Amino acid sequence: MEGVDHLAFERNKAQFDVDAMKIVWAGSSHALEVSDRMSRLVASDPAFRKDNRAMLGRKELFKNTLRKAAYALKRIIELRLSEEEASMLRSFVDEPAFTDLHWGMFVPAIKGQGTEEQLKKWLPLAQKMQIIGCYAQTELGHGSNVQGLETTVTFDPKTDEFVIHSPTLTSSKWWPGGLGKISTHAVVYGRLITDGQDHGVHGFIVQLRSLDDHLPLPGITVGDIGMKFGNGAYNTMDNGVLRFDHVRIPRDQMLMRVSRVTREGKYVQSNVPRQLVYGTMVYVRQTIVSDASTALSRAVCIATRYSAVRRQFGATGGNPESQVIDYKTQQARLFPLLASAYAFRFVGEWLKWLYTDVMTRLQANDFSTLPEAHACTAGLKSLTTSATSDGIEECRKLCGGHGYLCSSGLPELFAVYVPTCTYEGDNIVLLLQVARHLMKTISQLGSGKKPVGTVAYMGRVEQLMESRSDVQKAEDWLNPSAVLGAFEARAARKSVACAKNLSKFSNPEEGFLELSNDLVEAARAHCQLIVVSKFIDKLQQDIPGKGVKQLLEVLCSIYALFHLHKHLGDFLSTGCITSKQGSLANDQLRSLYSQVRPNAIGLVDAFNYTDHYLSSILGRYDGNVYPKLYEEAWKDPLNDSVIPDGFQEYIRPMLKQQLRNARL
Ligand SMILES: CCCCCCCC/C=C\CCCCCCC/C=C/C(=O)SCCNC(=O)CCNC(=O)[C@H](O)C(C)(C)COP(=O)(O)OP(=O)(O)OC[C@H]1O[C@@H](n2cnc3c(N)ncnc32)[C@H](O)[C@@H]1OP(=O)(O)O
Ligand SMILES: Cc1cc2nc3c(=O)[nH]c(=O)nc-3n(C[C@H](O)[C@H](O)[C@H](O)COP(=O)(O)OP(=O)(O)OC[C@H]3O[C@@H](n4cnc5c(N)ncnc54)[C@H](O)[C@@H]3O)c2cc1C
């Protein structure tokens, strides 16, 4: 029935102030107001329609993305939107596009690695979109190992230029988004060579295409790398290939904040650490953590609403069948994902703070927190994107057969989301970076250097190696200090075990390779501890609204106890808890799921997503699923005609032949 809220009875069950929770989710009343306004603006404009994406061929799909990007910019200018509003509007357009790389990587790379002079020259051009840029780091043969890049950038003192060259096939730039067809410029990473000396990888601003006719400049070969996973999905993006044949750029197009080359060809390093060349990745990894909460909450919103609509079995005495959300197994799969979405939101908020703090310190030449920022962004990017990818797929399964339909919104969400496990650093490679940080922290404990930030607990390692949980009854697990104690002890013990095993190797690098699986597990345990502790920290804040804080406490406990249950082997084998305590945690989880149940719809409504943004019939706000699924089926191009193309040509003759054979 059109106009009827089929989920109203669920909404009436909520025991908390949903509007207040919306503010907590958005981060502030201001952020909620802006995101609400921008999402409605996009949803109400037919130019941003996206329900036909899965049906479009690559060329049509891509052209459509270009149209939307140009139209979005036109609206941003017409409506005089602020940077914050414009960025929100682009995110609600919800279609991967070259603009993501322009705003998300090209502009930040210039901002982070350019000198004042370079900022003055390039930023206005990029900000007004008079040029369009991408981030060209990865090569056909080299992605994770940035130091292994082959592209050469050789200084020619005669002309005061750099000569960029792709010496081998494997040195071809491969993957950069926006590069394939649209970008006019790129920040290109290559090995800087002066006077025959290789100074390692540096970034350079390079013009790729003419601003007059958009043709590649001399010496440049550029194109798209081809279709990617899933129909529609990430194929709106022109991931590209790029080769240089001795292309010349002026010397002042080297990004020179970290180091520079003088007119005479002398290589001069500034006082900032070399790792700042990797700064753009740190920035983007931080944004990816917040985006994880957005992607996961979308999937959870769809699966939760549909689980309340869907009924199976249990019809007794003329009553309808049971809502599948009432099955304990459904709750045990769904509610930890709901809790994870909130957990990632808050750890994302904290990571943004950490990043901003590091940036402020860098301005004052304080580089002390850079290793912590690198380890946290790398580890949390890895943890949250892996969990979100798995979570989206779990949500698809939670929706049964209908989840497999494109109109559920889940296949496309998965296909667009899953490469986050690879881009901006493969998730295993990044966890190994965290492990290095942990091993270094442990190795420095004896020197009296006090660990700070997220590794501060390592300073209590002796106590944590001995500690025993004092949980005696299920409710004791609601105590944040019981949870923190267990997670800290597990993380510390896993790291210490790795460090002890590493010390048995005469060659530490060999040991690191041999023990890398254990190191990855230790890094994961450390990252889970960060998520749990930042959720607990969030709850120390003043959170207004009836029942809001109480529900967040429930979700925090679910996040922690679900992981304790899932990784029980870790907690038991390291002796942090007993098997009895493990089973009490499980008892507590069941009770927590029951507390979430009446509030489940309210908790996903608090994400404040429009139907346009969700693009899911199963996740419709009004729960009017069946009539809309039925209606949608008839829109499929296969249903344009009763008899499909190809039937007369192939199937009718085949049928006839088979009938003839049968009569013989
Ligand atoms: C339904 C439809 C839904 C639609 C939704 C639509 C919404 C839009 C969706 C999507 C939009 C997408 C927008 C985003 C697009 C992203 C595109 C992706 C871009 C990319 O992938 S860019 C390329 C990224 N590449 C990588 O990440 C490479 C990974 N590798 C590395 O980072 C490094 O090589 C390394 C860290 C693995 C190793 O480096 P290296 O060998 O130099 O280092 P080590 O020797 O190990 O360490 C040396 C030293 O440096 C420290 N270090 C390393 N990295 C950093 C750093 N980044 N910052 C600071 N410090 C660093 C390291 O710890 C060592 O320190 P110590 O010496 O030990 O102290
Ligand atoms: C959709 C998408 C968009 C992208 N956009 C851009 C872009 O805009 N700009 C850009 O420059 N790049 C981009 N990339 C490239 C991306 O950054 C790389 O693919 C990523 O960094 C992973 O590197 P790789 O492909 O070399 O993987 P590999 O390193 O080859 O990984 C292959 C396997 O080897 C394993 N492995 C590698 N090294 C180690 C190790 N040391 N120890 C243990 N295991 C290891 C990995 O875990 C993985 O299982 C994009 C990629 C994708 C998929």
Please tell me if the CB atom of residue 143 comes closer than 6 angstroms to any atom of ligand 2.
yes
177 is in an annotated binding site: yes
- The atom number, within ligand 1, closest to the CA of 138 reads 23
Q: Residue 426 C-alpha to ligand 1 middle, in angstroms?
A: 8
3-class secondary structure for 74-134?
Answer: HHHHHCCCCHHHHHHHHHHHCCCCHHHHHHHHHHHHHHHHCCHHHHHHHHHHHHCCCCCEE
Nearest to 568, CA basis, from 558, 582, 553, 549: 582
Domain 454-605: CATH class, spelled out: mainly alpha
For range 96-102, the mean pLDDT: 97
Q: What is the pLDDT of residue 27?
A: 97
Cβ atoms of 127 and 120 closer than 8 Å: no
pLDDT higher than threshold 80 for residue 651: yes
Rounded to the nearest 10 degrees, what angle do helices 548-566 and 579-596 cross at?
Answer: 140
- The atom number, within ligand 2, closest to the CA of 513 reads 42
pLDDT band at residue 129 under the 50/70/90 scheme: very high
- Ligand at shortest distance from the CA of 519: 2
Cβ atoms of 424 and 105 closer than 8 Å: no
Best of 107, 139, 275, 431 for a ligand 1 pocket test (most atoms within 8 Å of beta carbon): 275
- The atom number, within ligand 1, closest to the CA of 285 reads 27
pTM of this prediction exceeds 0.80: yes
Please tell me if the CB atom of residue 385 comes closer than 6 angstroms to any atom of ligand 1.
no
Name the residue at shortest CA distance from atom 47 of ligand 1: 433
Name the residue at shortest CA distance from atom 45 of ligand 2: 429
Q: What is the pLDDT of residue 292?
A: 98
Cβ atoms of 618 and 396 closer than 8 Å: no
Taking the CA of residue 169 as centre, how many other CA atoms within 13 Å lie in the half-sphere pointing to its CB?
Answer: 0
* Distance (Å) of CA 566 to CA 111, 152, 572, 591, 621: 42, 48, 12, 17, 32
Contacts of 504 (CB under 8 A, 6+ apart): 511
Please tell me if the CB atom of residue 512 comes closer than 6 angstroms to any atom of ligand 1.
no
- The atom number, within ligand 2, closest to the CA of 425 reads 21
The least confident of 214-218, 219-223, 227-231, 426-430 is 227-231
pLDDT higher than threshold 90 for residue 55: no
- The residue count of the chain comes to 664
| 455 backbone dihedrals φ, ψ, rounded to 5° | -100, 10
Please tell me if the CB atom of residue 101 comes closer than 6 angstroms to any atom of ligand 2.
yes
Please tell me if the CB atom of residue 175 comes closer than 6 angstroms to any atom of ligand 2.
yes
Name the residue at shortest CA distance from atom 45 of ligand 1: 147
Question: Which CATH code for domain 131-270?
Answer: 2.40.110.10
Q: Which amino acid is at 625?
A: V
Q: Residue 378 C-alpha to ligand 1 middle, in angstroms?
A: 7
Tell me what ipTM this predicted complex has: 0.96
pLDDT band at residue 1 under the 50/70/90 scheme: low
pLDDT higher than threshold 70 for residue 19: yes
Task: Classify 368 as helix, strand or coil.
Answer: coil
Q: Residue 180 C-alpha to ligand 2 middle, in angstroms?
A: 18
- Average pLDDT of every residue of the chain: 97
Q: What is the pLDDT of residue 3?
A: 79
Please tell me if the CB atom of residue 438 comes closer than 6 angstroms to any atom of ligand 2.
no
321 classed as catalytic: no
pLDDT higher than threshold 70 for residue 583: yes
Best of 175, 222, 288 for a ligand 2 pocket test (most atoms within 8 Å of beta carbon): 175
Q: Residue 390 C-alpha to ligand 2 middle, in angstroms?
A: 19
Q: Residue 148 C-alpha to ligand 1 middle, in angstroms?
A: 14
Q: Give residue limits of the domains in the chain.
A: 131-270, 454-605
Please tell me if the CB atom of residue 428 comes closer than 6 angstroms to any atom of ligand 2.
yes
- Ligand at shortest distance from the CA of 143: 2
Please tell me if the CB atom of residue 368 comes closer than 6 angstroms to any atom of ligand 1.
no
For range 431-443, the mean pLDDT: 98
pLDDT band at residue 448 under the 50/70/90 scheme: confident
Please tell me if the CB atom of residue 104 comes closer than 6 angstroms to any atom of ligand 2.
no
178 is in an annotated binding site: no
The least confident of 191-200, 418-427, 440-449, 505-514 is 440-449
Catalytic residue among 424, 488, 521, 553: 424
Q: Residue 258 C-alpha to ligand 1 middle, in angstroms?
A: 17
Q: Residue 427 C-alpha to ligand 1 middle, in angstroms?
A: 10
Nearest to 160, CA basis, from 254, 259, 243: 254
Write the pLDDT tens digit of every residue in 250-296: 999 999 999 999 999 999 999 889 899 999 999 999 999 999 999 99
State the Cα–Cα distance between residues 347 and 364, nearest whole angstrom: 26
